[in-house]
Amino acid sequence: MREISARQAAGGPFGAEARGPTGLNRRTKSRLLIVAAVSLLAAAIGAANAWLLSHLVPFAYDFAEFENGLRNGALIGGALVAFDLFYVQEPRGAWLRRASFAFGILGRATLYVLIIVAILSLNRLIFGLLYGFERSGLDYFGLPLLRDSAFAFLVFLAISFVLQMRRVIGARTLTSLLLGRYHRPVREERVFMLVDIKGSTALAERLGDERAHAFITSVFFDIDQPILEHGGEVYSYVGDGLIASWPLARGVEDARCLRCFEAIEAVLARRSGHYRSKFGVTPEVRVALHAGPVVAGECGDAKLAIAYIGDTMNTVARIEQMAKTLDRDCLISAELLSRLDLPPAFAAEPLGPAVLRGRRRSVELYAIRPAAAVGELAAKSISRETSSRDAADAPICGHRPYGAKPALSSASRWWARSLSRL
């Protein structure tokens, strides 16, 4: 599926999922809610800290100090989490996320401290403007500023740890583990997408193991965002592939799972120059999509995780192998395709029933292609067929044999029907 629109390649919105009625995409809305929640929590902690300090370091605790504590907490909490979500977790902050673990921690800590000191200093100035500089005083810019900065930093470290755990194992997984949702096995209907990097074996031989690992890591890094943007979550990284998942209702809504594939293609197309200059090759992926029942539950002891078990997982893996055999960029099962409304940008080419390894029953498969590419191919097929027909039925001495009817092949009839449906 190499036919990527110029708008997408330039970094435009990924399908209808990208922007809602408010002009904000799903991911931005989620992040703004997190900023608001953390700001409220930090404001409460700031007010409580001001009250506690009034008992440890004797000073009059009144409404002014209460408001100052609220403002300190809200501004610091909101600013730090906004900086983390809208800079560090965005492409602009990729340099910090790609850094070594130690350097990444040190770099973030330094930036956080600078932000905290700046906000505390600004808020002290606001306090002086509101309640008089004789109350704020320059003596704050010493030990009291250091004390408040250290306290704010330690509190945010705790909040940041929760947010980082949310990012590492996924928001849904973290919530499920905390609430004990999967302590006992639960049966669910889910959509699974297996993304495999094409030619990774040859790439390892060409680049060497270390550079090939860097290449694969970079690809995963780039395609994670479209998955999150379309309401999915990365379930697992498996060698040179990854498995993404959606609850069934969310995955089929507005064909998010298909639009996610389109978005992945767009991101890799936009980043092709970077890969070509750094690795001498551009990445291409192969995708398999399937939906069905799985049993989800907690698994492991030393490392706790949510595991999905069932025939659905085996089937999506076999579909990906079939995509490799047929050299198709995206295969989807009829079971999943029947549950979603195919967007106009896509066309589904029926491949018929396929017997997958390890399964007794065949699975109906479709190849997903851009509708524009299908239309062009259909037109070319009809044109070639018409040329062949005219050559075969060429009239002798200017006359066509009586009753001769031009006939299209079954392939051409299929392409013609596909074109008429577009």
**In-domain check, residue 174:** no
**In-domain check, residue 233:** yes
Q: What is the full per-residue pLDDT of the chain (422 aa) written as tens digits?
A: 444 444 344 444 344 444 545 567 667 888 899 899 989 998 999 899 888 888 887 777 788 889 989 999 999 989 988 998 888 877 788 777 777 767 777 778 888 889 999 999 999 889 888 888 777 677 788 888 888 888 888 887 777 777 667 666 666 667 776 777 777 888 999 999 999 999 888 888 888 888 999 899 889 988 988 998 888 888 888 888 999 999 999 999 999 999 999 999 999 999 999 999 999 999 999 999 999 999 988 887 777 778 889 999 999 999 999 999 999 999 999 999 999 999 888 999 999 988 887 777 889 999 998 876 544 444 444 444 444 444 444 433 333 332 333 333 333 343 334 434 44
What CATH number does the domain containing 211 carry? 3.30.70.1230
**pLDDT for the residue 262:** 92
Domain shared by 160 and 186, yes or no? no
**pLDDT for the residue 35:** 92
Task: Read off the pTM.
Answer: 0.66
**In-domain check, residue 84:** yes
Domain shared by 245 and 296, yes or no? yes
**In-domain check, residue 378:** no
**In-domain check, residue 9:** no
Domain shared by 274 and 302, yes or no? yes
Q: Which of 144, 169, 194 is the last residue of a domain?
A: 169
User: What residue numbers bound the domain in which 154 lies?
Assistant: 26-169
**pLDDT for the residue 166:** 67
**pLDDT for the residue 168:** 63
Domain shared by 158 and 205, yes or no? no
Give the separation between CA 347 and CA 357, rounded to whole angstroms.
27
Domain shared by 97 and 132, yes or no? yes
How many domains, the chain? 2
Domain shared by 296 and 150, yes or no? no
**In-domain check, residue 12:** no
**In-domain check, residue 329:** yes
**In-domain check, residue 399:** no
The tokens describing 197, both together, are 């990097």
Domain shared by 200 and 248, yes or no? yes
Residue 361: C-alpha distances to residues 210, 311, 315, 317, 354 (Å):
41, 12, 11, 15, 9
**pLDDT for the residue 196:** 94
Written in H, E and C, the secondary structure of the chain is CCCCCHHHHCCCCCCCCCCCCCCCCHHHHHHHHHHHHHHHHHHHHHHHHHHHHHHHCCCCCCHHHHHHHHHHHHHHHHHHHHHHHHHHCCHHHHHHHCCCHHHHHHHHHHHHHHHHHHHHHHHHHHHHHHHCHHHHCHHHCCHHHHHHHHHHHHHHHHHHHHHHHHHHHCHHHHHHHHHCCCCCCEEEEEEEEEEEECCHHHHHHHHCHHHHHHHHHHHHHHHHHHHHHCCCEEEEEECCEEEEEEEHHHHHHHHHHHHHHHHHHHHHHHCHHHHHHHHCCCCCEEEEEEEEEEEEEEECCCCCEEEEECHHHHHHHHHHHHHHHHCCCEEEEHHHHCCCCCCCCEEEEEEEEECCCCCCCCEEEEEEEEHHHHHHHHHHHHHHHHHHHHHHCCCECCECCCCCCCCCCHHHHHHHHHHHHC
* Angle at the Cα of 237 from the Cα atoms of 233 and 242, rounded to 5 degrees: 65
Q: Which of 138, 169, 200 is the last residue of a domain?
A: 169
**pLDDT for the residue 163:** 66
The tokens describing 141, both together, are 């810019």
